[in-house]
Amino acid sequence: MNTELEPRSTTEPTGWRAFRAHLAGRPTLNLTYRIGVAVAGIAVLTLGIIAIPYPGPGWAIVFAGLGILATEFAWARRSLDWLRGKYRQGMAWYSSRGTAMRVFAAAATFALVVATLWILGTFGLVGGWIGVEWQRLDSPLSW
């Protein structure tokens, strides 16, 4: 019997679905996989939430984290759909406010980044590298 010429069954999963079906048939492997997806998704989601106020892809990282979680968890799929809608509404509101809002948002973002770098001691560290030892560059958290 030549199996190469026979058509593949349409009900048989292929690729990723076949892999998941194989894991689903093994409870321990399935649980391990789901825990791994949860840990990875929560790590990416947390990183994204931390990155939201800073310039860069904060929201994209949040969506990626929820996307990872949504591969295994229905609540994450619902959350991702809800958050996408809210994000689109927020961006539409922001875009409709004009230039003044964009300038204010840029200034607030810049102030947040500078404050964070100062609190984390970045200015004092870099100042020390170039020989500038101003006390006001040091973090207020330094002992």
Q: What is d(CA 103, CA 112) in angstroms, rounded to the nearest whole number?
A: 14
- Burial category of 106 from C-beta neighbours within 10 Å (exposed 0-12, middle 13-18, buried 19 and up): exposed
Domain boundary assignment for the chain: 1-96, 98-143
Over the stretch 66-103, which tens digit does the pLDDT of each residue have? 999 999 999 999 999 999 999 899 889 888 988 888 89
pLDDT band of 37, cuts 50, 70, 90: very high
Asked if the model's pLDDT at residue 4 lies above 70, the reply is: no
- Express as a percent the part of the chain with pLDDT over 70: 92
pTM above 0.85, yes or no: no
- Burial category of 138 from C-beta neighbours within 10 Å (exposed 0-12, middle 13-18, buried 19 and up): middle
- In a 13 Å sphere around the CA of 21, the CA atoms on its Cβ side amount to 8
Q: Which two tokens stand for residue 43?
A: 């790590």
Asked if the model's pLDDT at residue 2 lies above 60, the reply is: no
